[in-house]
Chains A and B, each alone.
Chain A
Amino acid sequence: MGIKVLVLFFIGLGGGIAVGSGLVAFLTVLGIVPRLMQLSKTYEATRSYEWSIISGSVLGGWMILAGHTLSFPAGTLLLVPIGLFCGVFVGMLAAALTEVLNVLPILAKRVGFGQKILLILMAIVLGKISGSLFHWIYYVNH
């Protein structure tokens, strides 16, 4: 019994360390946090942002694994800002990935739309919004 608990504990801890460091490495490579600090001019708050990411991951991971619920009375309205923040975060991830892969500069250079880069960007942005809306409103029901 004791040895089983110990082994399980060790496996769980090991898995957690691997996944956690992977998540942080991913966020670091994409450079989302520095970008947000640049936009909001809060370079001195790096430490607090680290803690925000850590506590968010721990809280989200625990809640979804343990199946807890907060049962907020005004919960339904709280969903709107939560959904918006989730979306902004995923949108920034997607934008950062596009940038890491160097898609837009090459495209703009090759096709010769250097001046119209904003329009090209809007195509991707509007495509993401409509694709996502289509997915949730229509696709999942069919």
Chain B
Amino acid sequence: MENTVYLRMRQKVQVKLGQKITLHDIAQVIAPPKWEQQLSKLLIHEVTPEDKHLVVIDVMQVIRRIAHAQSDADVQTIGPAQSILEIQLSKKQSSPVYFILVWLLLFIGSALAIMNFHEDVSMQTVHQKIYYMVTGHYKEQPLLLQIPYSFGLGLGMILFFNHLFRKRLNEEPSPLEVEMFNYQQDLDQYVIVHENKESEKKIDGN
């Protein structure tokens, strides 16, 4: 029992080029006091330019290093079986021109989309009918209904994504944040399988 080392890999670690990754960087470790210093400084990986953007460190690799350093250590792993190293290359600044173009594309695109939608579902006729239902008169252009409707459109989208009134309404994550998180998880899952040399074995030995 006194030789047990508990190991929990960190999900994701941001590292710099040329950094020497130690056990402490990529995992939480509980070790007997006599080994604690040595193990937390244990070198696992050194980031080189060949690593490109992402590296996956498998827990097996880590156990091998630990066994090498302390052959009588009994390693118990808990949680994720690998950790993803995200190599921070020089931070590239996205240009504002690029951003403005995307912004305009979305702006004009969504304006077109809503107009197409209105034509598609004969919204004008429906609004005229609602106007008649409520007032008993027919009006060609029921702007009194349509202008609040237009602002309501924007309000509804903001409400759904809960972005502007986050602090006031509640602390729960918005659907957009959950969606971003799920998408990132999917990407990570892909990377774990495809960037990890140990997780696939092919017939032709590649």
Contact = CB atoms under 8 A, between A and B. Distances in A.
Give the bracket for the number of chain A residues in contact with chain B. 35 or more
A129 interface: yes
Contacts of A129: 150-151, 153-154
Interface string A38-77: 1101000000000000000000000110001111100110
Interface in B16-42: none
Interface in A91-141: 91-96, 99, 102, 104-109, 111-113, 116-121, 123-137, 139-141
Interface stretch (A2-10, A12-20, A21-29, A81-89): A81-89
Given A121-B163, A131-B111, A136 B153 contact: no
B1 interface: no
A32 B175 CA distance: 11
Given A32-B160, A76-B144, A83-B146, A128 B183 contact: no
A137 B155 CA distance: 19
Secondary structure call for the B interface: helix
Given A99-B175, A128-B157, A87 B129 contact: no
A89 B130 CA distance: 16
B205 interface: no
B156 A89 contact: yes
B150 A39 contact: no
Contact of A87 (B107, B152, B176): B152
A140 B103 CA distance: 26
Interface of A: 31-32, 35, 38-39, 41, 63-64, 68-72, 75-76, 78-96, 99, 102, 104-109, 111-113, 116-121, 123-137, 139-141
